A and B are shown apart, each in its own frame.
Chain A
Amino acid sequence: MVKVKLEQKRGRLVLHLGTLKLECTIEPRRWRNPLLAVAVLLLLPPLFFHRPDILTLLTTANMYACVAIPVAWQMVGIGRMNFGPQIFIGVGGFTAALLSIHWGLGPLQSIPFVILIGLIAGFILSPLTIVARGLYFSIITLVLPLVFMQLTYVYSKIFGGEYGLSGVQQLVSLGSMKLNFLVTFYLSLLLMLVFMFAVNSILKSRMGLFAAAINDDEDVANALGLNVNWWKVICYTITSMMVALTGWFMAYNVGGFSGETYLPLSFMLKILLIVMIGGRGEIYGTLIGAYFVSFLETGLRSAFGDISHFLFPLVLLILLLTLREGLYGLYSKHKYRDYYPTVRVRKR
Chain B
Amino acid sequence: MLLNVQNITKRFGGLIAVANLSFSVERSEILGLIGPNGAGKTTFMNVLSGTFPADSGKIEFDGHDITNKAPHEICRLGISRTYQIPRPFPDLTALANVAVGVLCGKRRPHMGFGDALLDASHCLEFVGLFGKRNILARDLTLYELRVLELARSIATTPKLILIDEVMAGLNPAESRRAIKLIRRMLEEYHVTLIWIEHVMKIIMEATDRIVVLHHGEKLVSGSPREVSNDPKVIESYLGKKYA
Check A338 against B75 for contact (C-beta < 8 Å): no
Check B92 against A338 for contact (C-beta < 8 Å): yes
A342: Cβ under 8 A from any B Cβ: yes
By a CB distance below 8 angstroms, the chain B residues around A347 are 121, 125, 130
A206 to B108, alpha carbons, bound, how many Å? 13
A44: Cβ under 8 A from any B Cβ: no
Chain A interface category by residue count = 20 to 34
B90: Cβ under 8 A from any A Cβ: yes
Interface residues of A in 143-190 (CB under 8 A from B): none
Q: How far is the CB of A75 from chain B (nearest CB, A)?
A: 13
A158 to B85, alpha carbons, bound, how many Å? 56
Contact of B134 among A217, A222, A342 (CB under 8 A): A342
For residue A342, which residue of chain B has the nearest CB?
A: B134
Q: How far is the CB of B163 from chain A (nearest CB, A)?
A: 14
Interface residues of B in 31-83 (CB under 8 A from A): 49-51, 70-72, 75-76, 80-81, 83
Check A345 against B100 for contact (C-beta < 8 Å): no
Check B95 against A345 for contact (C-beta < 8 Å): yes
Check A219 against B51 for contact (C-beta < 8 Å): yes
Check A225 against B87 for contact (C-beta < 8 Å): no
Q: How far is the CB of A181 from chain B (nearest CB, A)?
A: 42
For residue A346, which residue of chain B has the nearest CB?
A: B121
Q: How far is the CB of B85 from chain A (nearest CB, A)?
A: 11
Interface residues of A in 213-229 (CB under 8 A from B): 213, 215-217, 219-228
Check B75 against A343 for contact (C-beta < 8 Å): no
Check A345 against B92 for contact (C-beta < 8 Å): no
By a CB distance below 8 angstroms, the chain B residues around A216 are 89-92
Closest 8 A/B residue pairs (Cβ): A225-B104, A225-B75, A216-B89, A226-B104, A225-B105, A345-B121, A222-B71, A223-B71
Q: Name A's B-contacting residues (CB within 8 A).
A: 205-206, 209-210, 212-213, 215-217, 219-228, 336-340, 342-343, 345, 347
Task: Supply 15 further A-B pairs (C-beta < 8 A) apart from A210-B103, A338-B92.
Answer: A206-B103, A206-B113, A209-B100, A213-B89, A213-B92, A216-B91, A222-B72, A223-B80, A223-B81, A224-B152, A225-B106, A226-B72, A336-B134, A345-B118, A347-B125
